[in-house]
Structure 1
Amino acid sequence: MITAIKELGEMVLKSQNKTLLDVLIENPNQEGRYSKIATIDFTIKEDDIEYEKVRLEEYDDSKINRYLFTDTSGNAPGYTPAAKITEVTKTFNGKIKSWFKVLDDRTIKIDQKNKTFLQNIRNILEEKSDEIIAEVEKIRKDIPKREGLSLILKFNVDGDSKYIGDLDIFKSILLQLHNKKYQKIHSKDKVCSICGQKKKMIFGTVDTYKFYTIDKPGYIAGGFNEKESWRNYPVCKECMLALEEGKRYLENELTFKFYGLEYQLIPNFIIGNEFVKKEVREIFENASKLISLKKETKKRFIGDEDEILDYLAKAEDTMTVNFLFLKKANSAERILLLIEDVFPSHLREIFNAKDKVDETFNENFTFKNIRSFMSKSDSNKKDNDLDTYFLDITDRIFTGRPVDLGFLYGLIMKKVREEFVNDRNYKNAIKDGLMTVAFLEKLKLIKMEVVPMEERIFDSFFAKYGPSFETPLKKGLVLLGALTELLLRKQYSDREAKPFMKNLKGLKMDEKDIKGLLPKVQNKLEEYDSFDKGKRLLAKEVSNYLLLAGDNWNMSVDEINFYFVCGINLADELTNIIYKKEEEEKTNGKHC
């Protein structure tokens, strides 16, 4: 994964001619929350510098290199006196004033003229602290709380506005601080763990991803000597630069929404990117082309912006894609799931299976259907607690590993039962489950038993859903579910209530309950004078299939009830068949 991110970074650096400085500069408004900047303004006249006031201005993307924003998490200052404001006093003291401690660092090379210049700013910030903090707080109060505010220095030089990025001294110090951070633990003439080449210098503190750390003894190879930690993860300067840019590009351009989660899409050019078609390669080299692709309007499947996967599915198997699910908490990062080496050919199989399900159900099947019963174990819970299950089935879909059908039935029925008992729209939950099972069967991730049977009236109906219903027991359960639904509709029509539902035992019926249910349904239909020819035909087929199923079904309660509720959901299709047949028989009788 790290190598793939590094190679992506190399592509971007090459195509956009980026320097180390370009890589280190951050966009404070990347997520659109920090659209305003408070500038601490100074006037420079020859060798004299004076404080003016704090002003508010709109963030401008074209000035990103001039802002020279490199804010870091935590309380320590970044590489430049620029920061996102958390608490005004805390940010000003910890991120702006504290930055000038570089003047006390003898390892940072600053000529005398610039040292004097920076010391003057330092003195003014110290002297005017209360005034500056008050002005910034006034600006902060006038901005809605949901909007962020950044704080930087700005200079008026002979009538021209200059930001810290316009002054060479700030850029010089930025690069020196960056090098100092990584040179803290290094070694010479060693092999880089990423590119595999021997380099004059390698670093042991490359923490591009926060799930790697050397601040705990267990992470240090060969004992507790921090200076030897470079052995864990030696990285050369070139790979470090490419890795930083690769991560930035992933976060800015290749991070997608995934039903309450986020994933990063990492391309891996398995035989070198020069062998990948130019139009595919350019998607990852050129952000504008990627943005254009994101704006295409197609049926969603994977997430909010999944057109790129549909596009990559058409590519050749000269590349793979990795899916990285990360969870960020403060300054830490935790890998929730890494799906590696998914070939375009397998993406095609996934999309083809989706298309078949869409056609069968005349709906747009997405991962949202799966997520519906893999988000919360209880709808009253505030947070999702089934993310692990959802990520596991996602992993299995993209890697082609089998799915435990029994476990899946359990999750589906838990959701269906909750909706059913609370008299909510349980039919949507049934449909989500049925579509999911069909999708997984198309991908051959679950295996359905198929039992040859004589031709019967509902064969065309069952054939539509493929192997999902191809045993006598499953067919009998589906038809019984449909017949029960017709009774419930009749009750509601006559009484605006469904008292028969108590016989369904909260959809926890076992073999004995099901066998006793058919006569109960028939008797109730007789009582309502609604056991017409069509329903009699349906009941006859239920009896036929349940007799063929025999005894000792060897089917879990969840599975029994799943197929029963599938019948509830598909009742309209079955009634169309039985009453169409009845109408045809009447018509044929008239002709006779």
Structure 2
Amino acid sequence: MQAALRTIGEAIIDDEYTTEYQPYYTASPISGTNKAIESVVVLRFERIGDRMEYRGTELIDLENNPEATATRFGYVSSSGKTDNSVTKRLTQNNPVDERYSALLEWFDEDVLGDELLSDPDIAGVRSILCEPIGATHEQVKQDIDNIAQRVEYRALLTLSITENGQERYVGELTAYNEGMKRWAAEDVRTKSTAKDSYGFARCSICDTETECFGLGAKMGEQYAVKQQWPFLDVNSSEAWRNRPLCMECITAIEVASDRFLEAQDYGVPGIRCRVIPYALPMPAATDQLKALIREARFELTGGDTDNDTARQRPLSTAWENYRHAVETTDQPDVLRLAFSHIIRETTKTHGVAWIDGVSIGQVVALRTALEELYENDPVFEQGLLPKPDPPTEQQLFSGSWVFQLLAGTRGSDHRDQYIGDETPWVEYTERLLTNGPVNYSEVIAVLMREIYARYRDRLDEDTDYPYDGFHLAATYGFLRLASEQGILRDTQTGNNDTDEAAMTMTSLDSSYTSFGDGIRTFVAAHPSIENSPGRTAAFVLGAAAAQLSNWQAYRGLSRTFVQSRNVDQLTAEILTRWQTDIWEKAKIYNQQAGRYGVPWADAESLFHEAVLAGENDSNGWQATAEEIRYHYVLGVNVGPNISQRAQENRDDQTIPETEDEEPVSGPAIEDERSEMNEDSEPGHPATGAEQ
């Protein structure tokens, strides 16, 4: 990654900078809404022969943009500890009369050395400013005090030298630029958290023998927590010897960080995602990476654009020319992607999570697969679950999509900023992007925590549909996507070889004419449900619970069955108890409507078959407690839409209702639903398609 950032920085330097000093200057600390500079205070000097004279202190205008301001006036930040340039940044808390002393400290003989101190441009100014006696010295101090009240903060404090009628500022003065470089090297040394983390060595990137630095190079993207040394198997005090970096490489890396990484704006609020393309160690790979940065840096950083496709698919747009060359010539595919997720946790620490080795083809394949799944999967095509909008390419690679699935509610603080605590969203994003295995039981457990968090929130809103139907549909889509990609591992219904059935999908016949037949058809179309007694029983139970709750909502009950039963308490042992409660209530409502017989007889039969298999078969329930809860919620969402389709099929075929099949959600109830809230209409899940 360091080598990649060095290459990216070099490409930017070659493309944008005209002098060797410009890469050191940075506009980011003096640009933006809360950092923009308003004015510049300049100490003017004039060199006449071998004599330097002070010409006063003035307020002058900025350049046209922050980059030009930083370059001309020679501003370079050093993370707030010290400014490596003689030019200083001023704020209301650090006004000009207080920062003036920092400008004087820049002329430190131990840092600049005898050669620079003897340069006429530095020696002349230093003799005026730093000598404690003399009328000119006192005049400068007086001018600084006088101008302090006129400065519009935020501002810069700098100096200029005029010679032969030509005025030059710090960024245009070679001696001051060389001094800035020496301060930068000193800054790297003194900021090290480990002793002796610099010395003469061969740079691990450019292979140059020179003074090199290690931990002191302060590149925050590589640190795990609060810049703590992340490589536990390497002693931090000696780590620079294992990965030494020269000043030129460090500078290029910092240019890449400032102009490429910081320019990106990916990820949900509070969790920043940074995209880092890199080259594999192959011939000409570095040149291809440089070409990519030159041609598509703007697209890769997600810059503002009127092109909606480029904004939503930044990687595909940036990679277009490169992919064309790979596909139509003998150019090898040598570029890959890494993603750095910088996470703000509730402990106020910041963690860094890496995803590495991603090909652009995988990102495109995931996006395409999801679009096709939402369009063609029978569950979505037949309206059994609401069809979510497919995630954008940006939402996929930044982890935003998976984060919303796993932690969108429980991972938010009171300011609606997102945090990364205790949620393996980066892990599952990585597995999607790299075709890593996803364990069915483990991911269901994480999904259920988010489903339950949304359930609690919606109960507080007194909604009739406490389960978020669109979120549930998206979780189903995630599982189906993982299954289609061949990475979902379901040890409950298969083994680790080839006969796993994790959320695979067979054909789903939509011609059923009864609720029970529809439930059985749905189960049979999903081997992961059909082969697990626990999941089957839970799914049937959820579908029946939704039917009962729809009738209770129509009757005006303050709490329906779905609202009153805490899914977090559902286990295999409780399945039969809940089933008894549902069917007893359904029989009562059936009798009150003048009907007799067993409600949803086919569904009840399927439930009991599953329970008997779970209790008596040697394989048991073949489902964890969280899987049982998930499939109960899935049934709650799917059940009403199965009932509606069965009703429509009966109407189309003029099939009369059987006495024991549709007593609770038959024609009488469907006709009366038009008077209810539109969110409880038959086409919606009984759980929150309202969102």
After TM superposition, is the score higher than 0.5? yes
Task: State the identity %.
Answer: 14
Q: CA deviation at 1:346?
A: 2.6
Q: CA deviation at 1:4?
A: 1.9
Correspondence for 1:151 = 156
Q: CA deviation at 1:70?
A: 0.3
2:366 pairs with 1:350: yes
2:4 pairs with 1:4: yes
Give the total of aligned pairs: 567
Correspondence for 2:389 = 364
Name which of 248, 261, 267 aligns with 2:277. Answer: 267
2:641 pairs with 1:573: yes
Name which of 544, 555, 563 aligns with 2:606. Answer: 544
CA contact (8 A) 1:296 1:307 kept: no
Q: How does 1:407-422 map to 2 (within 5 A)?
A: 407-422=442-457
Deviates most, 290-299 or 358-367: 290-299
Query: What secondary structure, in the 3-state scheme, does the structure 2 residue paired with 1:79 have?
Result: coil
Deviations along 1:60-81, whole A, 9 cap, x unmatched? 2444421321011244332232
Name which of 194, 204, 213 aligns with 1:204. Answer: 213
Q: Cα distance 1:309–1:95, how it changes in 2: closer, same or farther (>3 A)?
A: farther
CA contact (8 A) 1:70 1:80 kept: no
Correspondence for 1:584 = 652
Deviates most, 342-351 or 235-244: 235-244
Deviations along 1:346-379, whole A, 9 cap, x unmatched? 3233223332443344322435453233256576
Q: Distance in 2 between matches of 1:532 and 1:578?
A: 22
Q: CA deviation at 1:25?
A: 0.7
The normalised TM-score by structure 2 is 0.68
Q: CA deviation at 1:24?
A: 0.4
CA contact (8 A) 1:268 1:341 kept: no
Deviates most, 561-570 or 380-389: 380-389
Correspondence for 1:145 = none
CA contact (8 A) 1:204 1:232 kept: no
Q: CA deviation at 1:308?
A: 1.7
Correspondence for 2:261 = 251
CA contact (8 A) 1:403 1:445 kept: yes
Name which of 191, 194, 197 aligns with 2:205. Answer: 194
Query: What secondary structure, in the 3-state scheme, does the structure 2 residue paired with 1:33 have?
Result: coil
Name which of 387, 407, 432 aligns with 1:374. Answer: 407
Correspondence for 2:627 = 559
Correspondence for 2:354 = 338
Q: Distance in 2 between matches of 1:307 and 1:217?
A: 32
Correspondence for 1:76 = 82
Q: CA deviation at 1:110?
A: 4.0
Q: Distance in 1 between matches of 2:529 and 2:519?
A: 10
Q: Distance in 1 between matches of 2:232 and 2:473?
A: 52
2:334 pairs with 1:318: yes
Q: CA deviation at 1:171?
A: 2.4
CA contact (8 A) 2:409 2:454 kept: no
Q: How does 1:428-577 map to 2 (within 5 A)?
A: 428-448=470-490, 449=493, 450=501, 457-458=517-518, 462=522, 469-471=529-531, 473=533, 474-495=535-556, 497-501=558-562, 504-529=565-590, 539-544=601-606, 546-548=608-610, 550=613, 551=615, 552-577=620-645
Which amino acid in structure 1 is aligned with residue 204 of structure 2?
Answer: S
Q: Distance in 2 between matches of 1:556 and 1:31?
A: 51
Which amino acid in structure 1 is aligned with residue 544 of structure 2?
Answer: L
Q: CA deviation at 1:8?
A: 2.3
Correspondence for 1:143 = none
Q: Distance in 1 between matches of 2:420 and 2:528?
A: 29
Correspondence for 1:116 = 124
Deviates most, 445-454 or 567-576: 445-454
Q: Cα distance 1:229–1:336, how it changes in 2: closer, same or farther (>3 A)?
A: closer
CA contact (8 A) 2:44 2:54 kept: yes
Q: CA deviation at 1:337?
A: 1.4
Deviates most, 561-570 or 497-506: 497-506
Q: Distance in 2 between matches of 1:490 and 1:56?
A: 73
Q: CA deviation at 1:194?
A: 2.0
Which amino acid in structure 2 is aligned with residue 386 of structure 1?
Answer: D
Q: Distance in 2 between matches of 1:508 and 1:220?
A: 42
Q: CA deviation at 1:560?
A: 0.8
Q: Distance in 2 between matches of 1:319 and 1:464?
A: 44
Q: Distance in 1 between matches of 2:441 and 2:25?
A: 51
Q: How does 1:277-292 map to 2 (within 5 A)?
A: 281-285=291-295, 287-288=297-298, 290=300
Query: What secondary structure, in the 3-state scheme, does the structure 1 residue paired with 2:79 have?
Result: coil
CA contact (8 A) 1:485 1:568 kept: yes
Name which of 422, 426, 446 aligns with 2:467. Answer: 426
Q: Cα distance 1:290–1:114, how it changes in 2: closer, same or farther (>3 A)?
A: same
Which amino acid in structure 1 is aligned with residue 606 of structure 2?
Answer: N
Which amino acid in structure 1 is aligned with residue 170 of structure 2?
Answer: I
Q: Cα distance 1:12–1:172, how it changes in 2: closer, same or farther (>3 A)?
A: same
Q: Cα distance 1:403–1:236, how it changes in 2: closer, same or farther (>3 A)?
A: same
CA contact (8 A) 1:263 1:323 kept: yes
Q: Distance in 2 between matches of 1:241 and 1:377?
A: 40
Query: What secondary structure, in the 3-state scheme, does the structure 2 residue paired with 1:77 have?
Result: coil
Q: Distance in 1 between matches of 2:121 and 2:290?
A: 51
Which amino acid in structure 2 is aligned with residue 120 of structure 1?
Answer: I
Deviations along 1:389-416, whole A, 9 cap, x unmatched? 2222223222322233323222322232
Q: Distance in 2 between matches of 1:9 and 1:288?
A: 14
Q: CA deviation at 1:200?
A: 3.9
Which blocks of at least 5 consecutive residues in structure 2 are unaligned? 131-136, 191-195, 327-332, 381-386, 392-398, 494-500, 658-691
Deviations along 1:411-458, whole A, 9 cap, x unmatched? 322232233344155314433433332333233332344499998743
Q: Distance in 2 between matches of 1:492 and 1:222?
A: 64
Deviates most, 448-457 or 305-314: 448-457
Q: Distance in 1 between matches of 2:560 and 2:73?
A: 70
Query: What secondary structure, in the 3-state scheme, does the structure 2 residue paired with 1:566 have?
Result: helix
Query: What secondary structure, in the 3-state scheme, does the structure 2 residue paired with 1:341 have?
Result: strand
Q: Distance in 1 between matches of 2:118 and 2:223?
A: 33
Q: Cα distance 1:414–1:582, how it changes in 2: closer, same or farther (>3 A)?
A: same
2:41 pairs with 1:40: yes
Q: Distance in 1 between matches of 2:240 and 2:286?
A: 34
Q: Cα distance 1:229–1:282, how it changes in 2: closer, same or farther (>3 A)?
A: closer
Deviates most, 318-327 or 274-283: 274-283
CA contact (8 A) 2:340 2:355 kept: yes
Name which of 90, 99, 111 aligns with 1:92. Answer: 99
CA contact (8 A) 2:547 2:639 kept: yes
CA contact (8 A) 1:34 1:59 kept: no
Query: What secondary structure, in the 3-state scheme, does the structure 2 residue paired with 1:36 have?
Result: coil
Which amino acid in structure 1 is aligned with residue 41 of structure 2?
Answer: I
Q: Distance in 2 between matches of 1:154 and 1:400?
A: 57
Deviations along 1:179-219, whole A, 9 cap, x unmatched? 5557997655x532224x3x342413560514579x99999
CA contact (8 A) 2:45 2:161 kept: yes
The normalised TM-score by structure 1 is 0.78
Query: What secondary structure, in the 3-state scheme, does the structure 1 residue paired with 2:488 have?
Result: coil
Query: What secondary structure, in the 3-state scheme, does the structure 2 residue paired with 1:570 have?
Result: helix
Name which of 171, 174, 181 aligns with 2:177. Answer: 171
Query: What secondary structure, in the 3-state scheme, does the structure 2 residue paired with 1:458 have?
Result: helix
Q: Distance in 2 between matches of 1:283 and 1:257?
A: 21
Which amino acid in structure 2 is aligned with residue 174 of structure 1?
Answer: M
Deviations along 1:144-202, whole A, 9 cap, x unmatched? xxxxx2423265969988643244443232234335557997655x532224x3x3424
CA contact (8 A) 1:261 1:325 kept: yes
Q: CA deviation at 1:54?
A: 4.3
